Amino acid sequence: MTPYRQWLATALAEARTGLAEGGLPIGAALYTADGTLLGRGRNRRVQDGDPSMHAETAAFRAAGRQRTYRGTTMVTTLSPCWYCSGLVRQFGISRVVIGEARTFHGGHDWLAEHGVEVVLLDDAECAAMMGAFVAEHPGLWHEDIGD
């Protein structure tokens, strides 16, 4: 059995914490090939007034300086936007595991074209949480993706 669902649970826990804080419920985590957690984080736009901290960049930041990202997996509750897709491509993160892409379809096809392994879990809880948030706070969501 792949550990993807277990890793997604880490990202989902971050998303739930973000929601409880009044923020965007998007979480992410960065794992090594052997399943070691390097970093985890959540979108911090509302909490810190920081537009640069998307879930993926927060997890990447939390992992600190790394010599290589070869073999690592970024797991995220939502399809990565261009900003976060660019992060994955630039740093050579090997795999992206995505909770859902129903609410938002970011750059993961582009990542797949450029050799990143993309796993889309289509998780119902991720989709329900994000879908409800976007319905309730459309302005915040559009701000977060620069729409």
100 is a catalytic site residue? no
* CA atoms within 13 Å, Cβ hemisphere of 98: 27
Of the candidates 144, 140, 101, which has an alpha carbon nearest to the alpha carbon of residue 123?
101
Tokens describing residue 31: 């794992």
Does 107 help bind a second copy (rule: CB under 8 A)? yes
Part of the chain binding a second copy (CB under 8 A), chosen from 8-16, 23-31, 43-51, 116-124: 43-51
Out of 2, 20, 34, 67, the only residue in the binding site for a second copy (CB under 8 A) is 67
Q: Which is nearer to a second copy, 110 or 125 (CB)?
A: 110
Does 36 help bind a second copy (rule: CB under 8 A)? no
Does 86 help bind a second copy (rule: CB under 8 A)? yes
Does 115 help bind a second copy (rule: CB under 8 A)? no
Tell me 139's DSSP state. Answer: H
Out of 91, 121, 127, 134, the only residue in the binding site for a second copy (CB under 8 A) is 91
Active-site choice (14, 56, 136, 143): 56
Reported as type and span, the H/E element at residue 124 is helix 124-136
Amino acid letter, 115:
G
What values do phi and psi take at 38, rounded to 5? -90, -35
Amino acid letter, 130:
M
**Which ranges of 21-123 would DSSP assign to H, the alpha helix?**
45-48, 55-62, 82-90, 108-113
Q: Which is nearer to a second copy, 10 or 57 (CB)?
A: 57
* Catalytic residue annotation: 56
Interface residues toward a second copy, by CB under 8 A: 45, 49-53, 57-58, 60-61, 63-69, 81-87, 89-92, 107, 143, 145-146
